């Protein structure tokens, strides 16, 4: 099928509105996504969808879709320019910044979209060519604290088997609306109706999920650390610890227990405002269940003490032995990680291929390296031109791949963070997983510090809307010498940029996400385009390639030689590429671009953008050899990776790339003897200080806690901009308790003024019995400028006009979006 052909067939794709990426089947008619249903054959969602994707056409055919590169005029208006002009001017200006201040003064901000991860993957090549060092995206305002804790404990990301757990616990997570695990709603319903299973929810609000829970621990906002500490205190007091598990699988528990024994359970229950008996009952239920899982999300990750809360959460399931069995927590494979591994790259610290493969690799590595050392000029033609035995080419290529994997993986996905800690140049903020904290970005620009950031490249993100204190972020954009935004729509961020580059939509190009977080079976889906690109737009991989050509990033002679090698087969190509990289390691960081230029044009159905996935598939097979083999990708050398890549290209409903047994969860532990390292000194100290630490940040001036950014039905960050998507609650009312409404004399139709340290805005209200007194909530994703009949409309409040960047986690720098001290006043009409 060619993407141009208008068709009424059901075509396979996926939802791009949250990280679940449920498989979809879509009928396209007259350029519209006319009919949409769940894909029953999809490897992870099996036909499930929620209500949100049914009107995805509002994304595809949004009225503010971009169709031409734009250049900002001095008066702030934009003029259309052609692509050649855009590429040459941007390349020249990036080069100027690099030459004047250094490439490391260019911030690359991208990669957190819910559906499109290829831009950030190819963006690694641009970053390599420019020599950027600093990188950020939305993960650095939610998940970096948790990622750091994971890195200390066992080295990689955890998730839970909610479908089979006897007890599930959600901390600041409302999966009824926000999903994050497959088939969330049916799973929640099954748990709620099964008397043998239980749900525990920590949430100040009676969310849809909390309303289904057996134990709703309705904490005071921002006090989860005390609630979790109290639960851990109960575990120790009542000896609910799984001692056999702790002895067999953990190191350092004595240091942890010293702190936990000191916890005053009653005092902490009072601090978090939850009845002590309820905390004890919930803890007993969790600890005595045959299997239990937890999920923490924004309600705790964007609130005070978030990194500490992540640690306490993980101690809860570790102390009760809930790991590595059906219905418990697990570590899992990645097809390609979207976040660097904060504690070191798995491919570096983990044993490289085990069994016979390792020996073979060791034996051939010497040959491979020798070939590589022969350098660019000799090795490449030698491989392309002489009939070396296939087996030798393959094993030499594989040996080189094994050796170069760490650097190559840095060129493929998000930055891989070395074990040494890095900090930002101006404010010294901690960089976790390679990501600069979002809250620090403006401070790294709005200063006269000589090492300040000077330029920003922003792709697939809307930080002028999604970052705290957005007015200040906009000031920071304006202070830059150059800002470039790549997007499908004229967003709040695009409106501030020097250049705006129009991308083809996610239904007009090959795309994928790297949110592969399932176990024991894990799947990856490459999506084919359903429609032709809108005229004037380009897929991001092509945008990056044009810039890299303009910058002369890779010698064209080398690219020609690699193409010649490729004509002899992908193993010859691989050996040629790795040999070249052995002589010039910087090539590895450019692997995406090299693959796009060489392998890309040879791929079927115009799937040029998928070229980078060849590298990802090879690294995946190398990192998880046994799991990938169990998924059916077998053989020696480069073969498993090659087969996996071919399956990815072929299968439209996703490919199961790793198959494990439950006990294999231990294989993913990146620690000596596969044991958890449980004592984290700086967080244990902080836990110990909770007794005296402040637990409230409101004041007489700002007596309310505003949750700035609740997920509701028909919100999906800012991916769908057309306000008619939200048929109800069109302008995103402020939710307020009946008690507060009474006290302030508010009626359902009243309007209020919300004032915080950062701003003051008017809002409609919804008097809601889900809110507790003193807590108010605004939805996420509203306050977007959208073309209406008479110019731009802007229904609702952009939450970050009310947040301040200074409210952030002391450790990870993540924002307190869920805890904004605020004042609420009636507006007289």
Ligand X SMILES: Nc1nc2c(c(=O)[nH]1)N[C@H]1C(S)=C(S)[C@@H](COP(=O)(O)OP(=O)(O)OC[C@H]3O[C@@H](n4cnc5c(=O)[nH]c(N)nc54)[C@H](O)[C@@H]3O)O[C@H]1N2
Residue ranges in 663-682 that form contacts with ligand X under rule CB under 6 A: none
Map 267-291 to HEC letters.
Answer: HHHHHHCCCHHHHHHHHHHHHHCCC
- Provide the 8-state DSSP code for 432: B
With respect to ligand SF4, which residue has the nearer C-beta, 109 or 515? 515
* Smallest distance from ligand SF4 to CB 734, Å: 24
Number of residues that bind ligand SF4 (CB under 6 A): 11
Helix axes 591-598, 612-623, angle to 10 degrees: 120
Take residue 561 and report the two structure tokens written for it. Answer: 């030689």
CB of 8 to ligand SF4, least distance (A): 22
Q: What x-and-dash track marks residues 498-537 binding ligand X by CB under 6 A? A: -----x-xx-------------------------------
Q: Is residue 800 near ligand X by the rule CB under 6 A?
A: yes
List Cβ neighbours of 791 (8 Å cut-off, separation of 6 or more). Answer: none
Choosing among ligand SF4, ligand X, none, which partner's interface includes residue 202 (Cβ < 5 to 8 Å by kind)?
Answer: ligand X
- Residues numbered 208 to 247 that lie near ligand X (CB under 6 A) are 219, 221-222, 224
Q: How far is the CB of 683 from ligand X (least distance, A)?
A: 18
Q: For residues 698 and 90, give the distance between their C-alpha atoms in angstroms, rounded to a whole number.
A: 46
Contacts of 741 (CB under 8 A, 6+ apart): 747, 750, 765, 767
Q: Which stretch binds ligand X (CB under 6 A): 113-121, 229-237, 338-346, 806-814?
A: 113-121
- Reported as half-sphere exposure (CB side, CA atoms, 13 A), residue 348 has a value of 17
Cβ proximity to ligand X, 167 vs 501, nearer residue = 501
Distance of closest approach, residue 38 Cβ to ligand SF4, in angstroms: 8
Question: Residue 214, class by beta-carbon neighbours within 10 Å (0-12 exposed, 13-18 middle, 19+ buried)?
Answer: middle
Q: CA angle, 15 as apex, 650 and 115 as ends, to 5°?
A: 80
CA 337 – CA 320 distance, rounded (Å)? 29
Give, in degrees to the nearest 5, the angle at Cα 572 between 566 and 574.
85
Which of 46-54, 290-298, 386-394, 773-781 is the region at the interface with ligand SF4 (rule: CB under 6 A)? 46-54
Query: Choosing among ligand SF4, ligand X, none, which partner's interface includes residue 607 (Cβ < 5 to 8 Å by kind)?
Result: none
- The torsion angles phi and psi of 722, rounded to 5 degrees, stand at -70, 120
* Rounded distance between C-alpha atoms, residue 134 and residue 131, angstroms: 10
Residues 169-198 close enough to bind ligand SF4 by CB under 6 A: 179
∠ Cα 719 722 725 (to 5°): 90
Binding mask 28-57 for ligand X (x = CB under 6 A): ------------------------------
Structure tokens at 828: 């007289």
173 lies in the binding site for ligand X (CB under 6 A): yes
The verdict on 821 binding ligand SF4 (CB under 6 A) reads no
Which is nearer to ligand X, 501 or 551 (by Cβ)?
501
Q: Should residue 380 be labelled a site residue for ligand SF4 when binding is judged by CB under 6 A?
A: no
**Whose structure tokens read 């009919």?**
35
Is 307 a binding residue for ligand SF4 by CB under 6 A? The answer is no
CB proximity list for 121: less than 8 A, separation 6 or greater:
336, 412, 413, 514, 592, 612, 616
Q: Counting every residue, how long is the chain?
A: 829
Q: Does 53 bind ligand SF4 (CB under 6 A)?
A: yes
Angstrom CA distances, 84 to 67, 69, 74, 89, stand at: 15, 10, 21, 8
| Least distance CB 533 / ligand X (angstroms) | 11
> x-or-dash pattern for ligand SF4, window 4-23, by CB under 6 A?
-----------x-xx-xxx-
Binding status of residue 291 toward ligand X by CB under 6 A? no
Residue 50 as a binder of ligand SF4 (CB under 6 A): the answer is yes
Is there binding between residue 459 and ligand X (CB under 6 A)?
yes
Binding mask 100-129 for ligand SF4 (x = CB under 6 A): ------------------------------
**With contact defined as beta carbons under 8 Å apart, do 672 and 336 qualify?**
no
Closer to ligand X by Cβ: residue 125 or 656:
125
Residue 506 contact partner, candidates ligand X, ligand SF4, none, CB within 5 to 8 A by sort of partner:
ligand X
Q: Which two tokens stand for residue 140?
A: 């650095």
Q: Taking CB under 6 A as the rule, does residue 715 contact ligand SF4?
A: no
CB 133 within 8 A of CB 101: no
CA distances 126 to 116, 121, 563, Å, are 17, 10, 21
Contact 11, 28 (CB under 8 A): yes
Residues found near ligand SF4 in the complex (CB under 6 A): 15, 17-18, 20-22, 49-50, 52-53, 179
Residues found near ligand X in the complex (CB under 6 A): 18, 112-113, 116, 119, 138, 141-142, 171-174, 177-179, 202-205, 207, 219, 221-222, 224, 297-300, 302-303, 459-463, 466, 486-489, 491, 503, 505-506, 540, 707-711, 715-719, 780-781, 799-800, 803, 817-818
């Amino acid at each position: 099928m060619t993407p141009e052909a208008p068709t009424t067939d059901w075509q396979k794709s996926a939802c791009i509105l949250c990280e679940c990426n449920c498989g979809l089947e879509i009928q396209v008619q007259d350029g519209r996504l006319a009919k949409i249903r769940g894909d029953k054959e999809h490897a992870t969602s099996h036909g499930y969808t929620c209500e949100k994707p049914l009107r995805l056409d509002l994304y595809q055919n949004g009225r503010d879709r971009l169709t031409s590169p734009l250049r900002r005029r001095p008066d702030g208006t934009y003029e259309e320019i052609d692509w050649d002009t855009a590429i040459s001017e941007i390349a020249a200006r990036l080069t100027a910044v690099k030459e004047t201040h250094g490439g490391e003064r260019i911030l690359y901000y991208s990669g957190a979209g819910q559906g499109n991860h290829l831009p950030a993957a190819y963006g690694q090549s641009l970053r390599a060519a420019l020599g950027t060092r600093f990188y950020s995206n939305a993960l650095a305002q939610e998940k970096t604290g948790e990622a750091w804790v994971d890195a200390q404990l066992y080295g990689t990301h955890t998730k839970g088997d909610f479908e089979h757990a006897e007890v599930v616990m959600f901390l600041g997570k409302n999966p009824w609306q926000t999903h994050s695990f497959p088939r969330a709603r049916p799973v929640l319903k099954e748990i709620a109706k099964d008397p043998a299973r239980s749900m525990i929810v920590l949430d100040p609000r009676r969310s849809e999920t909390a309303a289904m829970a057996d134990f709703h621990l309705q904490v005071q906002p921002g006090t989860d650390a005390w609630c979790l500490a109290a639960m851990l205190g109960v575990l120790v007091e009542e000896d609910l610890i799984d001692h056999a598990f702790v002895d067999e699988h953990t190191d350092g528990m004595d240091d942890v227990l010293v702190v936990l024994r000191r916890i005053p359970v009653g005092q902490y229950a009072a601090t978090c405002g939850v009845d002590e008996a309820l905390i004890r009952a919930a803890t007993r239920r969790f600890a005595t269940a045959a299997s239990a899982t937890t999920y923490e999300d924004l309600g705790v990750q964007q609130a005070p003490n978030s990194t500490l809360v992540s640690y306490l959460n993980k101690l809860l399931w570790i102390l009760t032995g809930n790991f590595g069995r059906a219905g418990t927590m697990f570590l899992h494979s990645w097809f390609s990680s979207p976040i660097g591994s904060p504690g070191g790259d798995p491919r570096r610290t983990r044993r490289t291929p085990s069994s016979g493969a390792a020996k073979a690799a060791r034996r051939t590595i010497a040959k491979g390296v020798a070939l590589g050392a022969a350098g660019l000029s000799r090795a490449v033609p030698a491989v392309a031109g002489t009939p070396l035995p296939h087996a030798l080419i393959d094993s030499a290529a594989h040996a080189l791949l094994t050796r170069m994997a760490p650097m190559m993986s840095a060129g493929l996905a998000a930055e891989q963070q070395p074990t040494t800690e890095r900090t930002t140049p101006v404010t010294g903020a901690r960089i976790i997983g390679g990501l600069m904290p979002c809250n620090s970005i403006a401070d790294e620009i709005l200063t006269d510090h000589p090492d300040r950031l000077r330029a920003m490249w922003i792709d697939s993100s809307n930080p002028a809307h999604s970052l705290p204190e957005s007015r200040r972020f906009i000031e920071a954009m304006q202070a830059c010498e150059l800002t470039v935004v790549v997007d499908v729509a004229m967003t709040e961020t695009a409106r501030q940029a020097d250049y705006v580059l129009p991308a083809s939509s996610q239904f007009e190009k090959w795309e994928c996400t790297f949110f592969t977080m399932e176990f024991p079976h894990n799947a990856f889906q490459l999506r084919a385009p359903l429609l032709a690109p809108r005229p004037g737009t380009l897929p991001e991989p092509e945008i990056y390639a044009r810039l890299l050509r303009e910058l002369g990033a890779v010698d064209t002679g080398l690219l020609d030689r690699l193409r010649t090698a490729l004509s002899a087969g992908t193993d010859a190509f691989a050996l040629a590429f790795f040999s070249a990289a052995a002589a010039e390691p910087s090539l590895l960081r450019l692997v995406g671009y090299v693959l796009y230029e060489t392998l890309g044009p040879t791929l079927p159905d115009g799937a040029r953008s998928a070229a980078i996935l060849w590298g990802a598939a090879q690294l995946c097979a190398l990192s998880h050899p046994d799991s990938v083999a169990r998924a059916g990708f077998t053989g020696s050398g480069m073969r498993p990776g090659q087969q996996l890549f071919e399956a990815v290209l072929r299968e439209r409903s996703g490919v199961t790339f790793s198959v494990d047994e439950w006990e294999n969860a231990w294989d993913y532990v990146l620690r000596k003897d596969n044991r958890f390292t449980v004592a984290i000194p700086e967080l244990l100290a902080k836990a110990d200080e909770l007794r005296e630490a402040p637990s409230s940040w409101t004041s007489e001036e700002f007596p309310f806690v505003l949750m700035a950014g609740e997920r509701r039905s028909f919100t999906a960050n800012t991916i769908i901009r057309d306000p008619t998507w939200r048929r109800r609650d069109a302008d995103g009312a402020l939710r307020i308790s009946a008690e507060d409404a009474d006290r302030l004399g508010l009626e359902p139709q009243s309007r209020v003024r919300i004032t915080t340290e950062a701003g003051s805005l008017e809002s409609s209200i919804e008097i809601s019995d889900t809110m507790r007194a003193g807590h108010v909530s605004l939805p996420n994703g509203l306050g977007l400028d959208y073309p209406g009949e008479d110019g731009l409309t802007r229904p609702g409040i952009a939450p970050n006009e009310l947040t301040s960047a200074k409210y952030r986690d002391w450790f990870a720098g993540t924002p307190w979006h869920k805890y904004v001290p605020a004042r609420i006043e009636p507006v007289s009409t």
